[in-house]
Structure 1
Amino acid sequence: MIQTRKTLRLTMLGLSAGAMLSGCAARDVNGFNREAGSLIDTGDFGNATMNNHQYMTGQKQYVYDLSQRFASEVLTTVNFAFNSSTLDQGAIDTLREQARWIRQFPEVRFRVYGHADKVGSAGYNKALGLKRANTVVNFLVSQGISRARLEAVVSFGETQPLIVTEGRERRNRRTVTEVSGFVTGHPTILDGKYAEVIYREYVNSAEPQSGLTGLQGQDFGVEQ
């Protein structure tokens, strides 16, 4: 009887050990025991830290504020003829205004989104939207904007229409220029003075006037 109990106990211990080993093997298959760094980085690593840093330094909020200011002071959209990426005179006038505004802020980057209407295949329209975005970027570059500050790599194609229709719609054939961030390593913003960039006119208006006026007044005998 005692021998039977010992045999049963040893059998149970063997089964438990087998289950533990089996669990370890399963964990190894699922990657728990893989060598550190052996997994492929999908590109998302570090995004949370980056976003936290941008919020803590205020960059995210300042990009939003500058985007709002850009949209309120100039037209951000230009439109195109059907199946065309050629700029008409109205688009040229709008882009000249955009270029004048952009030149005021050498610390800021911009992104141009290209769109198309729904006539034609999705692949063709996506390529056409990107071509329109590149046309706008090239024009802004011709106006003295550094290409390094402009991006035209994203095209929404026909997926974000202003007017929902399957037919031709000029308002859907467009590009939209938006503020995308600050130039990395620019000397003006190395210390995080994002607000000063956005409110540059207001900051400059607070500077004291030159003392030259007073000197001129004394030279002409004006009573002070």
Structure 2
Amino acid sequence: MNRLSLSRRFVIGGLGLTALSACTGTQYNRPAGSEIDEGAFGDSTMQNMLVMNGEAPALSHLGTRFAAEVPTTINFAFNSSALDATARAVLDQQAAFISTFPEVRFSVYGHTDKVGSNGYNKRLGLARAKAAVAYLASRGVSLNRLEALVSFGETRPLVPTQSRERANRRAVTEVAGFVGDHPLVLDGKYGQIVYRRYVGGAAGQASASSVATSAAAPAGAGQSAGNSGGGG
């Protein structure tokens, strides 16, 4: 074999090894999904499992139902976490829905407008979320299913303004997950949960109609945040 033929064989062999190492090396030998979660493979694996076993689609569907069938948001007076009659009527509807689905957990998020300091509004948002949770608990909802009281403070306004804005002074209730040790959840029978008929509609409508007659009622759970500077 002449020297030229031998050189060609080494070049071709080298190219083959390079291609093989590219397919089996670190770049292409990582678990699927590791690129999109920046290496936190456990997160992408968990999400894939939730999708495959039906839990993620079921939660998404139930969250959509909750938002469509029940008002998810209550609003507050300026610098206050007190619940007015309208807020209590909305929470009555939420409590009826939540009671219909004992397998499901919910979260409440508090918000403020832009008036006041960020730190003060963070505390005020949390006070609003706590007021909503306390009222839901008073309507028979277990605190074990009302999790993660979070305050976004002034960081997520619905109306972009620095002024007082009632729409931004709110607490929002959302579907958070399933109760892990509930028999239907353990058996993966999400369909029986998701497609269950919401039986609290009539009660919710009655609560809403009572707002006009109870507008002068006491404010209920929650009070002003109480600070000389105040906030939204």
Larger Rg, first or second structure (1 or 2): 1
User: Structure 1 residues 90, 194: CA separation in 2 closer, same or farther (over 3 Å shift)?
Assistant: same
Q: What is the match of residue 130 of structure 2?
A: 134
Q: What is the match of residue 68 of structure 2?
A: 72
Query: What TM-score comes out, normalization by structure 2 length?
Result: 0.66
Look up the equivalent residue of 2:44 and give its one-letter code. Answer: A
Q: What is the match of residue 123 of structure 1?
A: 119
Q: What is the match of residue 165 of structure 1?
A: 161
Look up the equivalent residue of 1:99 and give its one-letter code. Answer: A
Alpha-carbon contact 1:130-1:152 (below 8 Å) kept: no
CA-to-aligned-CA distance 1:81-140 (integer Å, 9 cap, x gap):
000000000000110011011100000000001000000011111111011001101110
Shift of 1:48: 2.3
Shift of 1:79: 0.2
Q: Partners in 2 of 1:152 and 1:85 — Cα distance?
A: 18
Look up the equivalent residue of 1:175 and give its one-letter code. Answer: A
Alpha-carbon contact 1:96-1:143 (below 8 Å) kept: yes
Look up the equivalent residue of 1:131 and give its one-letter code. Answer: A
Q: Partners in 2 of 1:83 and 1:133 — Cα distance?
A: 14
Shift of 1:148: 0.6
Within-5 A mapping of 1:99-110:
99-110=95-106
Q: What is the match of residue 198 of structure 1?
A: 194
Look up the equivalent residue of 2:78 and give its one-letter code. Answer: F
Q: What is the match of residue 24 of structure 2?
A: none
Q: What is the match of residue 11 of structure 2?
A: none
| SS across alignment from 2:159 | coil
Q: What is the match of residue 27 of structure 1?
A: none
CA RMSD in angstroms comes to 1.4
Q: Partners in 1 of 2:83 and 2:102 — Cα distance?
A: 25
| SS across alignment from 1:81 | coil
Q: Partners in 2 of 1:134 and 1:52 — Cα distance?
A: 33
Q: Partners in 2 of 1:153 and 1:101 — Cα distance?
A: 19
Q: Partners in 2 of 1:143 and 1:191 — Cα distance?
A: 29
Shift of 1:52: 1.5
Shift of 1:156: 1.1
Q: Partners in 2 of 1:153 and 1:75 — Cα distance?
A: 19
Query: What TM-score comes out, normalization by structure 1 length?
Result: 0.68
Q: Partners in 2 of 1:162 and 1:201 — Cα distance?
A: 31
Within-5 A mapping of 1:1-224:
46-201=42-197
Shift of 1:152: 4.1
Q: Could you list the structure 1 runs, at least 4 aligned residues long, displaced by more than 3 angstroms after superposition.
A: none
Look up the equivalent residue of 1:123 and give its one-letter code. Answer: G
| SS across alignment from 2:109 | strand
Aligned length: 159
Look up the equivalent residue of 2:120 and give its one-letter code. Answer: Y
Q: Partners in 2 of 1:136 and 1:153 — Cα distance?
A: 10
| SS across alignment from 1:141 | helix
Shift of 1:45: 6.9
Q: Partners in 1 of 2:197 and 2:106 — Cα distance?
A: 20
Shift of 1:59: 0.8
CA-to-aligned-CA distance 1:64-84 (integer Å, 9 cap, x gap):
100110011110000000000
CA-to-aligned-CA distance 1:165-222 (integer Å, 9 cap, x gap):
00100010000100011001111221111121010239xxxxxxxxxxxxxxxxxxxx
